[in-house]
Amino acid sequence: MSVKQLKIPLFTLASLLFGLKTYIVYRFLFNISLDNIMQEFILFINPFVSAFLVFALSVWFKERRQLKFIRYTALIGTLIIYFNLLFYRNFTDFITIPVLFQGSNAADLGSSIFGLLHITDILLFIDVAVIWYVGIKFKSVVKVDYTRRNKVMALSLSIAFLIGNYVLAEIERPQLLQRTFDREYLVKNIGLFNYHLYDIALHSKTKAQRVFADGNEMPEIKQYVKENTTSDQKSELYGIAKGKNVIFVSLESFQTFLINNTMNGEEVTPFLNDLINESYYFENFYHQTEQGKTSDSEFLVENSLYPLPRGAVFFTHGQNEYNAMPEILGEQGYYTSVFHANNKSFWNRDVMYNNIGYDKFFDVESYEVTEENSIGWGLKDKPFFEQSIKYLQNLPKPFYSKFITLTNHYPFELSEEDATIEKYNSNSRTLNQFFQTARYTDEAVEQFFNQLKESGIYEDSIIVLMGDHYGISDFHDKAMSMYLDKEEITDYDHIQLQRTPFFIHIPGEDGKVISKIAGQIDVKPTLLHLLGVDTSKDLSFGTDLFTDDRKGYIALRDGSFISDKYIYTKDQCFNRETGELLGVTDDSLDDEEDQSTVCKPIKDKVQKELSYSDQIIYGDLFRFYDFGTEE
């Protein structure tokens, strides 16, 4: 063997050292949760994939530049990791471009910087030193000239590794990049560096759309909203809950078909069923969420704006100006808080909550989470409520507090001892288990009501319960049709399955069942009116559910809608009550005769409305609007 063949390609050595170092940081210095072997595996490979991708580029340079490129890449890469680590030690989060340039964060970090530096951090630079040393002192054993074939091979390999990594990540978390739900997931699946590139791309796109908006769009939107959606009409219930605490419970994946229904002869949600008798219960209430799931439902509730057709608006536009409920209630003297036992950066909640005026977020750090008291996504709902009460009792009053449950989340896992209802028996494990977790959440809410009563909070509060979005997707249609005793789940049925429960429980009031159509977009004006807060200066796309002056349709994010009389989806127009297909509404058909004329005008209005809401968000148009003075 000739000496020449023994030479080490410096870029592979650098990739291995740097990759290993990055893995150690991910695994032991960041607190990244790993739920299964697949996640462990992806976390292990992605540091090497990213390192190889960058270092392999060096082969295209001439000797001197090549060594320099490798040395500086290692150094800059390490500094990026290190800055993230410092940031993480302070905020338990990864750096994002907007957060980096947010003055308050930088200042916060600056003042505590010395506490964040550890002497052992110096070890992070070992590989840089080794690469530096080898590249200078052992030039003779380092391989720097590659044939064209080898260069192409290095490039192809790095791309193949990247694709392999992405495919695994996609299997682990479908639609990882489109949905953007958590920075930790992104780092875990595609690595810190790819995450930064992704964040930069997302941020640039958002910035560009914002730059081209100048506020000229506002008068037209304002006119539309004032004429069509916002209503000044006040119902009999206006101000009925003035000065009361508001306890809002977001019920994870709760669908209306569970309510007043049985499974193998047993009631699924006995507590909620009884609660209907003492509440305003909306039986035709629809969720209007898209890819942002729970966060989209929160966005609808807090702002009465629509979430976006793609991605999670909490993530993509978490820094916009809003006129959200926590801000408005804050001005009315309310203390506002959220209780949710998940990591705070999930759905970018930490950033968004801060932006829309929440005073406090009790995230997973506020809870004692152990093996025994958690399942699936984390802390079970019963200990979640139990552990929340002490915080709730100590809040300044009146308060607006939102609780987000978690146990009834896909894949609907529950341990034997917590199950008080049997599993369903169908070809869908998901649906089979759904009834058990839903029953568990029903019991958790009952227990919460009792604790509220015992602690004396109940009397001075109104309690609002809402299902955030569907739990059973189309994928389980066969099992669903079996459960609902239908031949198949039609497009009409699919829309009707998007109903989620909505309760407004006012202690001392009888309430009633309300059948008119309603949606998450209506929650903000409805609650504000109950609290006696005037909304005539607000711009919202929903209306107070207790007034008669309503716009008469609920728009879903994909353009489908439910009106008093019709349901429109996928170019078909149905009678809402009977489900009878009335005709098609397809713009590509020239012949008016072919079109169902009844749905067409509402369909156009829905399109217009969704696009106005999108314009507000993409252009960050509320920064040009003064909610205090505008008439």
Q: Which residues are catalytically annotated?
A: 294
Distance (Å, whole) CA 84 – CA 192: 9
Find out whether 521 and 542 touch, Cβ atoms under 8 Å: yes
Distance (Å, whole) CA 273 – CA 60: 69
With b for 16 or more beta-carbon neighbours within 10 A and e for fewer, the 257-277 pattern comes to bbbbbebeeebbbebbbebbe
Q: What is the dihedral of CA 382, 383, 389, 392, to 10 degrees?
A: -100
Read off the tokens for 249: 């419970």
x/- track of binding to Mn ion for residues 202-221 (CB under 5 A)? --------------------
Q: Which of 84, 289, 294, 316 binds Mn ion (CB under 5 A)?
A: 294
Give the footprint of Mn ion on residues 20-39 (CB under 5 A): none
Check binding of 342 to ligand GP9 (CB under 6 A). yes
Q: Out of Mn ion, ligand GP9, none, which partner does residue 346 contact, by CB within 5 to 8 A per kind? A: ligand GP9
The site that binds ligand GP9 (CB under 6 A) totals a number of residues, namely: 6
Find out whether 334 and 318 touch, Cβ atoms under 8 Å: no
Q: Which of 55, 280, 346, 553 binds ligand GP9 (CB under 6 A)?
A: 346
Give the closest residue to 230 by CA, choosing from 539, 6, 628. Answer: 539
The residue (of 285 and 566) whose beta carbon lies closer to Mn ion is 285
Check binding of 381 to Mn ion (CB under 5 A). no
Find out whether 129 and 71 touch, Cβ atoms under 8 Å: no
Read off the tokens for 26: 């991910």
Q: Out of ligand GP9, Mn ion, none, which partner does residue 319 contact, by CB within 5 to 8 A per kind? A: none
Q: Which of 199, 290, 442, 468 binds Mn ion (CB under 5 A)?
A: 468
The residue (of 325 and 406) whose beta carbon lies closer to Mn ion is 406
The residue (of 181 and 561) whose beta carbon lies closer to ligand GP9 is 181
Minimum CB distance to ligand GP9, residue 185 (Å): 11
Find out whether 504 and 546 touch, Cβ atoms under 8 Å: no
The residue (of 382 and 409) whose beta carbon lies closer to ligand GP9 is 409
3-class DSSP state of 334: coil
Minimum CB distance to Mn ion, residue 345 (Å): 16
Using Cβ positions, the residue closest to ligand GP9 within the complex turns out to be 293
Q: Give the other-Cβ count within 10 Å of 520's Cβ.
A: 28
Q: Which of 128, 352, 404, 452 binds ligand GP9 (CB under 6 A)?
A: 404
Read off the tokens for 404: 């987000």
The residue (of 54 and 464) whose beta carbon lies closer to ligand GP9 is 464
Minimum CB distance to ligand GP9, residue 248 (Å): 14
The residue (of 54 and 404) whose beta carbon lies closer to ligand GP9 is 404
Minimum CB distance to ligand GP9, residue 37 (Å): 22
Give the footprint of Mn ion on residues 241-260 (CB under 5 A): 252
Distance (Å, whole) CA 329 – CA 531: 9
Minimum CB distance to Mn ion, residue 410 (Å): 9
Give the footprint of ligand GP9 on residues 237-296 (CB under 6 A): 293-294
Q: Which residues contact 604 (CB under 8 A, 6 or more apart)?
A: none
Distance (Å, whole) CA 349 – CA 355: 10
Q: Out of Mn ion, ligand GP9, none, which partner does residue 342 contact, by CB within 5 to 8 A per kind? A: ligand GP9
Q: Which of 183, 196, 409, 550 binds ligand GP9 (CB under 6 A)?
A: 409
CA separation, residue 469 to residues 143, 250, 300, 410 (Å): 57, 10, 12, 12
Find out whether 81 and 95 touch, Cβ atoms under 8 Å: no
Binding site for Mn ion (CB under 5 A): 252, 293-294, 468
- Site residues for ligand GP9 per CB under 6 A: 293-294, 342, 346, 404, 409
